[in-house]
Amino acid sequence: MQKRYLQFTTALFALLFSGKCFAQSVSVNNSGTAPDSTAILDVSSTTKGLLIPRMTAQQRTAIHAPATGLLVYQSDGDPGFYFYNGTNWFLLITSAVNTDKQNSLIYTTRGF
């Protein structure tokens, strides 16, 4: 019985204290450069870009309780980058000319 208790205790401590091992920054690059200490994910490249998740409008609206700040690219209907502000999805920009849609990449004191 003591051996089983010792095994259980050891496994429990390993699980509890291994979280610190995973709470580190990650760098994605070709140079081997360490990530910036203030970023959880540091992506850098001079020849490639970042590909945001792509989905249809139906898939986007089917996301249950999206996180504030979630960004996706909608590929059908009114395509473009959509941002979730905690209440609604907003199309960020479709062209340089602002229309009756909620298009803006300019941040003001009132938000986007």
For residue 18, the Cα-to-chain-centroid distance in whole angstroms is 23
Distance CA 74, CA 77 (A): 8
Residue 15 has pLDDT above 90, yes or no: no
Distance CA 57, CA 88 (A): 13
Determine the pLDDT at residue 52: 94
Determine the pLDDT at residue 109: 46
Q: What is the mean pLDDT of residues 74-85?
A: 93
Distance CA 110, CA 112 (A): 7
Question: Residue 32 region, left (φ>0) first, then alpha (ψ -120 to 50), else beta?
Answer: left
Q: What is the mean pLDDT of residues 30-48?
A: 91
Determine the pLDDT at residue 112: 46
